[in-house]
Amino acid sequence: MGFFCGTNRSIAPGDYVSRTKHVMSTTPLIDGHNDMPFLIRIELKNHIYDKRFTFREGLLSPTDLIKLRTGGVGGQFWSAYMPCDDRVADNFNTPTDLLRDTLEQIDVSKRLFEEYEELEFCRNSSCVMPAFEMGRVASMIGVEGLHQIDGSIAAIREVHELGVRYITLTHNCNNVFATSATHVAAGGDDYGLSSLGRAAVFEMNRLGLMVDLSHVSIKTMEDVLQITRSPVIFSHSNARMVSDHARNAPDHVLRMLPRNGGVIMVTFVPRFVNVQDPDAADIAKVVDHIFHIVEVAGWDHVGIGGDFDAIAVYTNGLENVSCYPQLIQAVMARGATDEQVRKLLGENILRVWRANEEIGQILRECGEKPWEDVWEHRTWRRSNLVAPQMFLGSEKTRIRRPNGLP
């Protein structure tokens, strides 16, 4: 029996089960997006000490510790997600609870990591492999949309300080920073990245905070890839050429990834996998997406972002987090070598994260200051108390009191 380069020589090339076990035992599968913290909010109002939350013993939903272990998950980006608020659709000055609720989702994620020793909270990329080698799931936090930070670059800095390591520029709504794919799919104009959005990208680069382009419009993708100093991620998106859904990335964007160094992490949401027949979405179709991305962008630019716990029905054969080995076996059956599979599993996203950290450190060491840009239409508020004057002429530019006086 022959063997081929890139495969463990003690395992036959066609023994996909053994090859998968070997590769996943030595390289962490790092998934880019899981919405379990939001499901905890829905089901338990974030009360993780409730006796009904049998995370260690097993849950009906797609994610629990038993399934994570069975699925060989070595790292997970958990989403601190809150949905778009219709109240701000036409006026971004409208007060909302989104930033408060986002902080609560960050909090419940961190309490989850603290409560379960099987999870290891990782604030930097160098934490992942030691956690994996100790048999723990390296656990990171992403925020799924800049609508959640109230249009404030200062708030980006603060959630980063709390441990957030990527932010999706939009969710299913526009915000002051960027245009969403959903807005364009509904017939809206594609404005791309705003001037404030450019500043937000630069600030995220400075912080070493990964920019996530899932959910954004095509022009936003293009605009970001033209200006970012750091590699980007798509935390849970597919190839539009395989499934023509607005949430997926077109080929000309995929071709921009090698120069940027970024990664697109293939997701299992049925309508993104097979827009024409979501009920028929299966592992083979997901593998089609992986290999199309590889054909266009290369093995250095593909990863996995299942988006589990976000919806009720998933792709056939990928119903929960225990199913990753079957996906990897199917990728090997298409001809992928062990080295290529390692990149898909976690090496690519780790490289991107590490590059963001290194570039951010360089920018800070070179003296780049925090970006102070604000939305040009922002409403500033203060009380009617008379404030002292800091410098001459300030009465012309300072924030006015509610009575209109300086």
Q: Which of 160, 183, 236, 292 is catalytic?
A: 236
Predicted pLDDT at 8: 60
Over range 162-166, report the average pLDDT. Answer: 98
Catalytic residue among 171, 183, 245, 292: 171
114 phi, psi to nearest 5 deg: -75, -35
Q: Out of 147, 183, 215, 292, pick the active-site residue.
A: 215
Q: Is residue 3 part of a domain?
A: no
Q: How far apart are the first and last CA of the chain?
A: 85
Q: Is residue 191 part of a domain?
A: yes
How buried is 338 (Cβ within 10 angstroms: 0-12 exposed, 13-18 middle, 19+ buried)?
Answer: buried
244 classed as catalytic: no
**Is residue 9 very low, low, confident or very high in pLDDT (cuts 50, 70, 90)?**
low
Q: At what angle do helices 348-365 and 195-207 cross, to 10 degrees?
A: 100
The answer as to whether 106 is a domain residue is yes
- pLDDT, tens digit, for every residue of 69-123? 999 999 999 999 999 988 776 678 888 899 999 999 999 999 999 999 999 999 9
171 catalytically annotated? yes
Percent of the chain with pLDDT over 70: 97
Of 101, 203, 288, 307, the active-site residue reads 307
- The total number of structural domains in the chain stands at 1
Residue 181 pLDDT greater than 90, yes or no: yes
Compute how many other C-beta atoms are within 10 angstroms of the C-beta atom of residue 376.
Answer: 9
For the segment 31-49, what is each residue's pLDDT rounded down to a tens digit? 999 999 999 999 999 999 9
pTM for the model stands at: 0.96
CATH number at residue 382: 3.20.20.140
Report the candidate in 223, 274, 209 with the shortest Cα–Cα distance to residue 248. 274
- CA proximity to 260, closest of 218, 215, 204, 211: 211
Which domain covers residue 22, as residue numbers?
A: 16-396
**Could you tell me if residue 249 is inside a domain?**
yes
- H or E, element range at 400: none
Residue 136 has pLDDT above 80, yes or no: yes
Say if 2 falls within a structural domain.
no
pLDDT exceeds 60 at position 251: yes
Residue 5 lies in a domain: no
**Strand pairing report for 164-168 and 137-143:** parallel
Active site residue 301: no
From the list 31, 101, 120, 144, the catalytic residue is 144
Decide if 215 is catalytic.
yes
Query: Quick check: is 293 in a domain?
Result: yes
* Residue given tokens 């299966």 in the structure block: 282
Of 114, 97, 199, 113, whose CA–CA distance to 150 is shortest? 97
Phi, psi dihedrals of residue 22, rounded to the nearest 5°: -65, -50
d(Cα 115, Cα 37) in Å, to the nearest integer?
14
Distance of CA 379 to the CA centre of its chain: 30
φ, ψ of residue 239 in degrees (nearest 5): -95, 125
pLDDT, residue 1, reads: 31
Among this protein's residues, is 377 annotated catalytic?
no
Q: Annotated catalytic, 35?
A: yes
**pLDDT, tens only, 299-356:** 999 999 999 999 999 999 999 999 999 999 999 999 999 999 999 999 999 999 999 9
- The pLDDT tens digits for 260-308 are 999 999 999 999 999 999 999 999 999 999 999 999 999 999 999 999 9
Helix (H) or strand (E) holding 309: none
Report the chain's mean pLDDT, rounded to a whole number.
96
Structure tokens that stand for 247 in this block? 């949430």
Residues whose CB falls within 8 Å of the CB of residue 77, separated by 6 or more in sequence, listed in order: 30, 31, 32, 33, 34, 140, 141, 142, 165, 166, 235, 305
pLDDT of residue 132: 98
Residue 404 counted as domain residue: no
Number of helical H runs and strand E runs in the chain = 16, 9
368 catalytic? Reply is no
CB contact at 8 A, 66 and 23: no
